[in-house]
A and B are shown apart, each in its own frame.
Chain A
Amino acid sequence: MRRQLLFINRHSPYGESVARDALDAVMTAAAYDQHISLLFLDDGVFQLLVGQAPGSIAQKSLGASLPALPLYEVEDIYVHLGSLQARGLSPEDLILESVTLLDDAAVQALRARQDHILSF
């Protein structure tokens, strides 16, 4: 049965492993032909910032992996506008071009459409 899964990413990319774990989980779920949406919220929007070069801290770039998501048929990618604005960022600062910006009410509506939420 094809279910609506929403992955919510609320953590910045390199301070802890949770952002990497989320990406692994997304790709795993995609292999099982589920309908997947990703929401970047709060510090999670930093995962999308252009110019990441984490070789300086001996980590692999998370941002570099994100453009591969459409290859896994993960195309519904959402960003909370208020989280971007609170961090002084605009859509032009993001690695991905085809994201949908959501206000608070739109986040609630997105959540209401889901069968499951996975919180990262």
Chain B
Amino acid sequence: MSTLHTVNKSPFNHATLSQCARLCHDQDAIVLLEDGVYGALTSSPCATDLASLLARGVALFALECDLRARGLEARLLPGIQVTDERGFVRLSLEHKTLQSWY
């Protein structure tokens, strides 16, 4: 039974994303949104955590509108999928529960 996680804090200022990564199950997915999208940068302090999540099968998404607003679209870690609001809604339906990390 999988969970969709959302993270809305920058990992440069907060431990939220690494805390989420620690308790993420292999079948789960994470959506980075609001300031959480800074976690998708190649320079992300959580880059190693995210790479091991991807290797375990966890799907990682960043919300397009938040990336665009911050000028980040061309600076993403490999393996991060960009999604929009429609995709976000679809993801929320594909998982049994949602945990919001804020």
Residues of chain A touching chain B, judged by Cβ–Cβ distance below 8 Å, are: 6, 8, 10, 41-42, 80, 82, 104, 107-108, 111-117, 119
Interface centre among B23, B99, B100, B101 (most CB of A within 10 A): B23
Complex alpha-carbon distance, A107 and B19, angstroms = 12
4 tightest A-B CB contacts, nearest first: A119-B100, A112-B1, A117-B97, A108-B25
**Pick the contact of B19 from A42, A111, A115, A117 — CB < 8 Å?**
A42
Tell whether, in the assembled complex, residue B23 and residue A117 are in contact, meaning their CB atoms are under 8 Å apart: no
Complex alpha-carbon distance, A78 and B23, angstroms = 15
Is the CB of B59 closer than 8 A to any CB of chain A?
Answer: no
Interface class of chain A by DSSP: mixed
Tell whether, in the assembled complex, residue A112 and residue B98 are in contact, meaning their CB atoms are under 8 Å apart: no
Residues of chain B touching chain A, judged by Cβ–Cβ distance below 8 Å, are: 1, 3, 15, 19, 22-23, 25, 96-102
A-B contact pairs, 18 of them (CB 8 A): A8-B99, A10-B19, A41-B19, A42-B15, A42-B19, A104-B23, A111-B1, A111-B25, A111-B97, A112-B3, A112-B96, A113-B1, A114-B96, A115-B96, A117-B3, A117-B97, A119-B100, A119-B101
A residues within 8 A CB of B1? 111-113
Question: Are A117 and B98 CB-contacts (below 8 A) given A42-B19, A112-B1?
Answer: yes
State the Cβ distance, A106 to closest chain B Cβ, in Å: 10
Complex alpha-carbon distance, A113 and B100, angstroms = 17
**Pick the contact of A108 from B15, B19, B23, B96 — CB < 8 Å?**
B23
Q: Which residue in chain B gives the minimum CB-CB distance to A4?
A: B97
State the Cβ distance, B34 to closest chain A Cβ, in Å: 15
Extra contacts besides A111-B3, A117-B99 (10): CB < 8 Å: A10-B19, A10-B101, A80-B23, A104-B23, A108-B25, A111-B25, A111-B97, A112-B1, A112-B25, A119-B101
